[in-house]
Amino acid sequence: MDTRRKITFYLNPETNEADRFVCQQTDDTPQGERGRLWRAALLTGFAFGKQDPRLPFLFSELLNRDTSFDDLLQLLKTVYPRETEALLKGQKTMPLRASEPVPAPGSSEEETRANARGLFDGPKHG
């Protein structure tokens, strides 16, 4: 029995700036990677929603081609003022930068999962 779920919805780029941005990003993504990108975006929204049900809606309303990291950070500061300040104080001496990828065997999905684990748990040795 196939338990997969197909999710279908419409974007309206003519009346919504966030939808317009997403459509442009979709057009710029190779056809074979689009489903993976959409799945990741959907799951990311649910991950934020698990922390606070308002976050996916707030982030989606903020989204446009000019949205910056500082905009997203300001939103997090608004929802979680103490937690965000504590996090920023702990990282003041270290600039934010992309971490080195953690090598993982197999599919690109496994590599993405291993990279995410590396961000939170540190590098895995094996």
Mean pLDDT by runs of 10 across the 126 residues of the chain is 93 96 96 95 96 94 94 92 87 43 50 59 49
pLDDT value of position 102: 41
Is 0.75 topped by the overall pTM?
Answer: no
Neighbours of 59 (CB within 10 A): 19
The long-range contacts involving 54-57, CB below 8 angstroms and separated by at least 24 positions, are 54/79, 55/79
Query: What pLDDT is attached to residue 90?
Result: 82
Contact between 41 and 26 under an 8 Å Cβ cutoff? The reply is: no
| pLDDT value of residue 99 | 40
For residue 86, the model assigns a pLDDT of 87
**Residue 40, C-beta contacts closer than 8 angstroms, at least 6 positions apart:** 112
Q: What is the pLDDT of residue 105?
A: 46
What pLDDT score does 96 carry? Answer: 38
